[in-house]
Structure 1
């Protein structure tokens, strides 16, 4: 079984069934169905044995279409095929080729049918879909690509046999301009058939099939016998194409693909997240407007009455609250990396909401994210060096180098192992050496220098002054209640940020692993904003309780409190794996968890940084509001 987003095909039609690289797709699942997928495949990261399954209806002149960086990383490989159409010229019963199966080809076809592989094409940049009418609703859903074949019983036989889809009935929808009489393609659909073709006389260029009518106006198959997949069986591949005028304008042709999600579920996700935000906002408001206001007034009165010796609570630790934490260098590195990620995500979402990252531009989203990550390195260097200087650090070059390399090196190590597994499967989805070199160049040639530039600028700025002075001798922390235990409070703190996004997370995972288009970036932007608020508020609340317990070690805990939501994300990904993706192949399972580990790590860095800065602002605010000698 394999992984990777899709082999998509362009030019006349790009059909990899007949060149030897089947794309790996799960059966199409509309996210609103929440139905279980029973297959051994997932659709990301690994195509099939491109080299070992190539002698099928080979095109005389194979042309590889140029792909962008995002397409290559997704595993898209675009090649031409023998399926050639002429605009608004219907064709019936066109013969593509004849193939005689040997033992190896028959075995591989059966494996593909067992694993429910799909064949994918594109025409004028539109992906091929199979329209499926919902029996319970008056609506149609679209399955991307068609299955290689099917498995079942035939003619009363109790033995299950394999049948291949060798006849394709294409429907090309077009919109006609009444003024110019020109036409533009707005839809590309197919109905696959398994037909045991027969013909008169000897096989040749003018062979006429008796099992389909080339003069019919619509698809007519004169055979009820499906084409079985067995050794020494002859398979004739054919296709029809009909052209259907449509009222859909060319600018709106992607709507059928993008509007398959149920908006009600997304609104439910938003409302669910807003309830969490309102709850946390109420707690923060109570702390800020009641408790803190009362505390500050009381403490200021105590100062005037010279009763400071009886202080308790958060003001008592004012001499230690800004003491640099252990491993402060590592904290600076992670904060800088989180800033880099935050701005990358923010700018990407802004572009996506404005419509600049349409799915019609294959690989555009991933390419944009990679380039933005590289150029946002300047913010990473600036943030890490500013924090580093506040902690009295002096080696800004060292901290800049670690900021530029720690996270990317970790991801590269995991990615290299996963890519080696894909190479071991002889998959076309493996990232080639040229692309690997390009990634290394982006990292060391652009990202690292920009991090150093940001680090230099940040270190030249005056150091951030704390509102209170730090004592030379650290204060002893009193014994804490069980609910203020660092591990417990950190794990509790991650639940609410995850709860604010977990419904939308289902759609994102479905888009990534079940080959669904995700284009509701407006919802995603709202969820991201809610995530920011939730991370900030839960960290502030728990930080306040911690300081009231006279525990001043808040630096790392503020980062880990909201960052622990990444742990719940990974656990949810594990739940999703076992409930939606019945995967049995070892390599596919390793790839799934490897990529989800990278995603969870990135989520930890982003949410942790948000929580850290919220807590940093909060502590500076409250300690600058009281009179301290």
Structure 2
């Protein structure tokens, strides 16, 4: 009886170890000789529609009789990206070569034959993973006339190792077999191991595309952006000096007049609206929520880019970049509450709880609404991109139990620390009538349309590389370039909105808050217009699912970018207007004093 129990225990222990050892080895990326190496099958789909993905075994590929291993831990980023790992059941052991052998057979009836023919017609490819290293293969190919279709039946794997780590994986598809209904096709594989000098830290370098991302055009765009910033700063300084010089001369002359002559004198330009400049904006609840959301997007983008520069997130677990972005966005919710809540309080808003809810859920509602709409199409297509109900619940929990409380904390701090009205001058009780514009270019609508052209011209080359990294399945790794572009974009947006605001105020129109925000936000409109050009001329996408996926998420991206640029433009313009008196008193720079003196005299 004791011997029987010992045998049962040994069998159970052997079974448990056979499951846990490959799990531990894969997660630690360290293997001993003859440790099992797991080959995971991810998705299959059209080559030209990279986001239209399906489960690998949605095609009638056969599965061997080996057991399945259900230990893959799907993260939130995996679920949102449609990553659905399934064990291939192929027997692969570390440093143990496998000669070509059959692992299963496909009984090709008419339905299976039609499925493979459809996949080959639409250039289906599939993705696999070994030790987090991606591998791509093609399902099959057609002959030149398109009459006959062939299935690749032989997976030839070549795995490179450095000591006890896997550093390289290559797949060669061979064994082309013609598809004929009511036949049997044998699927085979082989594994060859080779010693490699590639370091484990550098094993993802082969997936990068230096010739694409570090092309001379990319470097030229960075240099061009830098020169545009220098030119725009000089141009803005000259415009402000020339625009405000006449007013400065008038107001300097008025200082020499006595009180009666000054009272009887006429007011010009900016001085006409000095009592209305700091009037609260129209629709302050929506406006403050947009500003708070824009500040949060900027802070989250900055942190994610810095983490991408430091950590090389593309070398970590699958979906780690999206997981990081979600975590950082949720963690920066106090920024949204602080800036949105303080601005709303400064403008005399009293429904601060409603403002907090709108500010907290503005971006998540936009993203989730778009995602859930596309999800219905994904469910109709039976795509792996379909978001499960459990994932929806997790996202809602993050919004209600992480983003909302942190936003509440930020709102309370913003109202307490900087929520008191601090207008540098008294605001008129009755709004001053806005005179008719002598020039149509002084209209807020025209200023808004023109305000986003220069910032978009600064970033449109970088937009091409970002689009290619997402829609063409390239790994984006040049986060240093992205950081420089983000800095240049913010500087240019601020200076452009300052110019737009100066022109508007000089035309005696004090509605500068929304104009400064929208002139910066119009950059997102131009980015979305560019996405149409990229779709029709730079890709070969087709179909309802891919088209809705592309334009839906591009609308989300462009809107978020526009809100960020609008918030940056407004904050910079507001700081420029409000800091005139302080800068004038403290600065020793004659040029800055000459620029700020008119603003100080006329507005402050």
TM-score scaled by length of structure 2: 0.85
What is the rounded CA distance, in whole Å, between the counterparts of 1:442 and 1:243 in structure 2?
Answer: 44
In structure 2, relative to structure 1, the CA distance for the partners of 1:451 and 1:494 (3 Å cut) is: same
- Residue 74 (structure 1) aligned to one of 76, 81, 94: 81
Find 1:233's aligned residue among 173, 177, 183.
Answer: 183
Distance 1:627 1:502, change over 3 A: closer
Q: 1:48 aligns with which of 50, 54, 68?
A: 54
- Counting only pairs closer than 5 Å after superposition, residues 300-339 of structure 1 correspond to structure 2 as 300-305=252-257, 306-307=261-262, 309-339=265-295
In 2, Cα distance between the equivalents of 1:323 and 1:394? 16
For 2:566 and 2:474, how far apart are their aligned partners in 1?
30
Give 2:589's aligned residue.
none
Question: For 1:101, which of 91, 105, 108 is the aligned residue?
Answer: 108
Single out whichever of 515-524 and 56-65 deviates more from structure 2.
56-65
Of stretches 52-61 and 473-482 in structure 1, the one that deviates more from structure 2 is: 52-61
Q: Distance in 1 between matches of 2:552 and 2:146?
A: 39
Q: Residue 171 of structure 2 corresponds to which residue in structure 1?
A: 190
Question: 1:47 & 1:556 partners in 2: Cα distance?
Answer: 42
Of 519, 522, 528, which aligns to 1:564?
522
How many angstroms apart in 1 are the aligned matches of 2:291 and 2:510?
Answer: 19
Alpha-carbon shift at residue 241 of structure 1 (Å):
2.3
Structure 2: distance between partners of 1:58 and 1:434: 30
Which residue does the alignment assign to 2:428? 471
Partner of 1:599: 557
Q: CA offsets, 1:56-110, max 9 Å, x none?
A: 2256433341121111111111121133323333322122211121111111111
Q: Kindly indicate whether structure 1 or structure 2 has the higher relative contact order, using CA contacts under 8 Å at least 6 residues apart.
A: 1
Find 1:12's aligned residue among 27, 37, 44.
37
Alignment partner, residue 443 of structure 1: 399
Superposition deviation, residue 22 in structure 1: 3.9
Contact 1:15 1:83 in 2 (8 A): no
Summarize the Cα distance change of 1:108–1:233 in structure 2 as closer, same or farther, 3 Å threshold: same
Deviations 1:334-390 (A, max 9, x none): 001111111111111111111252343211111111111112111111111111111
Match of 1:111 in 2: 118
Once the two structures are superposed, what CA deviation does each residue of 1:441-484 show, in whole Å capped at 9, x if it has no partner?
Answer: 00001111111111112112351411121111212222221112
Is 1:625 aligned to residue 600 of structure 2?
yes
Q: Aligned equivalents of 1:392 and 1:25: distance in 2?
A: 55
Residue 483 (structure 2) aligns with: 525
Higher helix share: 2
Deviation at 1:584, TM superposition (A): 2.9
> Residue 204 of structure 1 aligns with which residue?
none
Judged with a 3 Å threshold, the aligned counterparts in structure 2 of structure 1 residues 58 and 557 are, in CA distance, closer, same or farther, namely farther
The Cα shift of 1:581 comes to: 2.4
SS at match of 1:166: strand
Deviations 1:268-307 (A, max 9, x none): 2212222321221112222456655774465244244254
1:24 touches 1:43 (CA, 8 Å); kept in 2?
A: yes
Q: How many residues align?
A: 545
The C-alpha deviation readout for 1:400-427, integer Å capped at 9, x for no partner, is: 1221123322322222111111112122
From the superposition, tell whether residues 290 and 628 of structure 1 become closer, same or farther in structure 2 (CA, over 3 Å): closer
Structure 2 segments unaligned to the other structure (5+ residues): 1-25, 28-35, 582-598
CA distance in 1, matches of 2:82, 2:60: 18
In 1, the alpha carbon distance for the partners of 2:569 and 2:602 equals 27
CA RMSD across the alignment: 2.3
Q: Where does residue 458 of structure 2 map in the other structure?
A: 500
Deviation at 1:243, TM superposition (A): 2.2
TM-score w.r.t. the length of structure 1 is 0.82
Cα separation, partners in 2 of 1:102 and 1:304, compared to 1, 3 Å: farther
Q: Within 2, Cα distance between the matches of 1:615 and 1:103?
A: 68
Deviation at 1:585, TM superposition (A): 1.2
For the pair 1:249 / 2:199, whether they are aligned, the reply is yes
Correspondent of 2:155 among 157, 168, 184: 168
Cα contact 2:62–2:105 (8 A) shared by 1: no
Of 542, 547, 571, the residue aligned with 1:589 is 547
- Match for 2:137 among 115, 132, 146? 146
